[in-house]
Chains A and B, each alone.
Chain A
Amino acid sequence: MAETGKALHNPLGLLAELTHRCPLGCPYCSNPLALDPRQDELDTPTWARVFAEAAGLGVLQVHLSGGEPGARRDLADLVAAARSAGLYSNLITSAVGITADTLRQLADTGLDHVQISIQDNTPESADRIAGYAGAFARKQALAAEVVRLKIPLTVNAVMHRANIDHLGDMVALALWLGASRVEIAHAQYYGWALKNRAALMPTTDQVKRAAAEVETLRTRHRGEIVIDAVVPDYHARLPKPCVGGWGRRSLNVTPAGKVLPCHAAETIPGLEFWSVREHSLADIWANSPAFNAFRGTAWMREPCRSCARRDVDFGGCRCQAFALTGDARATDPVCHLAPEHDKVAALAAEQHDEPYTYRRM
């Protein structure tokens, strides 16, 4: 019998971090500071097995991510493997490293969707943020190719202090590129983004203006483009149900094969992760200590333990709780009921215009 609140759900999504290699250097990158080197990456047959096992567990969608997935020479084989496992495949790319030829191959293999990140609305600023000259032009070129091949396109715009005032122009750019969806994502402070927090943090005024603008744009563009946006954590009163609940909806496989409940889980010390090299995905999902550490509600403390929202937001994000309080079991301090909520407000007010530390191997 499963312990109360620990009932095993079927995961829906698999984030496959195919590689940590990436030509760009985005300071908001949520990859860990210690990146997996190329020689540690899983090979094609192992990924194919992982996709098949994921489908067997109930996973419906695979997000092919990284790093830059285009750095993998076997990308078309991986898309084919996802397809033959019956998974819906989503390519999450910086566009640098995917040629028109590769894309055509991926389309023929059955790729379902492409997500391209853009860093800002002008080439100068976008390339400065990405730390890569010419990235903006290559993103535009690949987006055009995606649309020409009639693959649905999402533009992913990670917002922070340097670009949040250009939100409207970035949505206009997404429309012009032919995207059917734009994701206004706010920098999440893990990995490299945590290192750059004070340089990235938007002001409260900026966040308020951006939220109002999203509402206006949604009304104006109804039926033309879907605008997905959420309030950035540090400016919110209630935490997000991180990854839909720990070990509940999704899993993440690192380039070297470790399976994580969320992409930042390795920042929590003391968790034991299992690898697809030694275990089946089903075994990991059900039995790996890391997945069971915060599954359900039994691990919670007050104020979460007796809170009505505990099955709604699951106490928020464990990685954030650890990063901000030093205790992974604490209530996510983004929550206004958390004893350490004032820390978040203080951090949200901390802005320094220091140069970015670009993400590098």
Chain B
Amino acid sequence: MREAAAIAPDVCPRLPRGVRLVHNEAQGGWVLLAPERVFKADAIAVEVLKRCTGEATFRAIIDDLAQSFAAPRDRILADVTTLLRGLADKKLLEL
């Protein structure tokens, strides 16, 4: 896998219209609904996506996650960059 390109600290990631994060008991938890596709969202993805409101900056999201999970900021930054880039490539997120 190639390394994900960096995300500028001041962009505000958001779910585009047509992509919704919903909780559904019958399907066993959180799912991301997208055009003709449904993705199961794991616990980490849910924590990240809930923060992608279009209001918080990428920098603030990383700070918040590092604090909430008491994890090294560098690692969070790398993991979340990979996750969000992957979602953006699939048109599930706007950066």
Contacts and interface: CB of A to CB of B under 8 A. Distances in A.
Interface of A: 10, 12-13, 57-58, 60-61, 63, 86, 88, 90, 112-113, 115, 150-152, 154, 180-181, 183, 222-223, 225-226
B36 A61 contact: yes
B27, B35, B88 — which one has the most chain A CB atoms within 10 A of its CB?
A: B35
Interface string B1-45: 000000000000000111110101011000101011010000000
A83 to B, nearest CB: 12
Instruction: For chain B, give the interface size range.
Output: 10 to 19
A58 B22 CA distance: 12
A222 B17 contact: no
Contacts of A57: 26
A60 B18 contact: no
Interface of B: 16-20, 22, 24, 26-27, 31, 33, 35-36, 38, 88-91
Given A57-B26, A58-B26, A115-B36, A152 B88 contact: no
Contacts of B18: 112-113, 151-152
11 contacts: A88-B20, A112-B17, A115-B36, A150-B17, A151-B18, A152-B19, A154-B36, A180-B16, A181-B91, A223-B89, A225-B91
A226 B89 CA distance: 8
The prevalent SS among residues of B at the interface is: mixed
Contact of B27 (A58, A90, A152, A154): A58
A15 to B, nearest CB: 11
A63 B36 contact: yes
A286 to B, nearest CB: 14
A250 to B, nearest CB: 11
Contacts of B19: 152
Given A10-B27, A152-B16, A60 B22 contact: yes
